Amino acid sequence: MTFGGIDLGSTTGKAVVIIDDKIILGDIVMATPKPAVTARMAMDAALKNAGIASLQSLDYIVSTGYGRLKVEFANENISEISCHAKGAFHLMPSVRTIIDIGGQDCKAIALNDKGGTLGFEMNERCAAGTGRFFQVMAKVLGCGLEGIGAAANISPTAANISNQCSVFAESEIITLVNNDVPLPDVITGINKSVASRVSSLARRAGVAEDVVISGGCYNNEGLISALGQCLGVEIMKLPLNPQFMGALGAAVFAKEKAAAKTAAK
């Protein structure tokens, strides 16, 4: 049987197809002004990668994320908290803490040994600690997101970034650049500033190992290093692209829901 999961975020759309036990990732598509269009683009990419000709070939589809209610072809929608937990635990049953750094929000989720959610904390009112914050800082520095995340830009000397607000932090960083502070020092300061904020969020949810990162900031080595230092733990790597954890969790839920309906007949 074949199942689909789609994660419709504020900045990107992702979809996953599961054929029996095989996981097939789609592509990361940029969000359009119409969530329903983004959803179809994301799912079409996953279907293509899976070699499936038609959406109707999927036995059950679950949607999640910011625009989950707009996915008209989904059989059911489930919160992103539950789906990120389901996806990460499915890949790595030792996971007890998930930190999801998305485009517009940041979430910390605590799990029990069965994969159930013990609690969570979310920052969705401020850009600080999100992908949007890094986009603004990368633009100011002129280095792109690749430069922010590059291992080569990890410095033993971090510039002091005192402001968490992206507006004030932008002004602070411009001052540092004008004062000829080296780029790696500024980038390390940014990553440490974000790590401090995110670690506070995670502690409120409850931190226990293993800890993993989901979302688009997973490949920022400076941030991962700083976050591990702030939390006093080693951040573990998921075996699949962490940006797809929500979509994977939705697909796993779809498989479970379909099995439950079949068993109930």
Each residue's pLDDT, cut to its tens digit, for the chain (265 residues) gives 999 999 998 889 999 999 999 999 999 999 999 999 999 999 999 999 999 999 999 999 999 998 999 999 999 999 999 999 999 999 999 999 999 987 778 899 999 999 999 999 988 656 566 777 888 888 889 888 888 888 888 899 999 887 666 667 788 889 998 999 999 999 999 999 889 889 999 999 999 999 999 987 888 888 999 999 999 999 999 999 999 999 999 999 999 999 888 887 6
Q: Where in the chain are the domains?
A: 1-92+239-265, 94-237
Reported pTM: 0.90
Nearest CA-CA partner of 128 in 167, 174, 173? 167
- For residue 191, CA distances in Å to 38, 129, 166, 170, 219 come to 30, 9, 13, 14, 12
Looking at CATH, the fold of the domain delimited by 1-92+239-265 is given as Nucleotidyltransferase; domain 5 (3.30.420)
pLDDT of residue 119: 93
Do the domains 1-92+239-265 and 94-237 sit in the same CATH topology, yes or no? yes
Q: Which residue has the tokens 């971090």?
A: 158
- Tell me the residue type at 145: L
Distance CA 115, CA 119 (A): 12
SS3 241: coil
Beta strands (DSSP E) in the chain are 2-8, 12-19, 22-25, 29-30, 60-64, 76-77, 97-101, 106-111, 117-123, 211-215, 235-236
Side chain identity at 155, as an amino acid letter? Answer: S
Task: Describe the strand order of the beta sheet including 97-101 as a list of residue ranges.
Answer: 117-123, 106-111, 97-101, 211-215, 235-236
Alpha-helical regions (H) of 126-209: 131-141, 144-149, 166-178, 183-205
State the CB neighbour count (10 A cutoff) for residue 136: 17
Q: In CATH, what number does 94-237 get?
A: 3.30.420.40
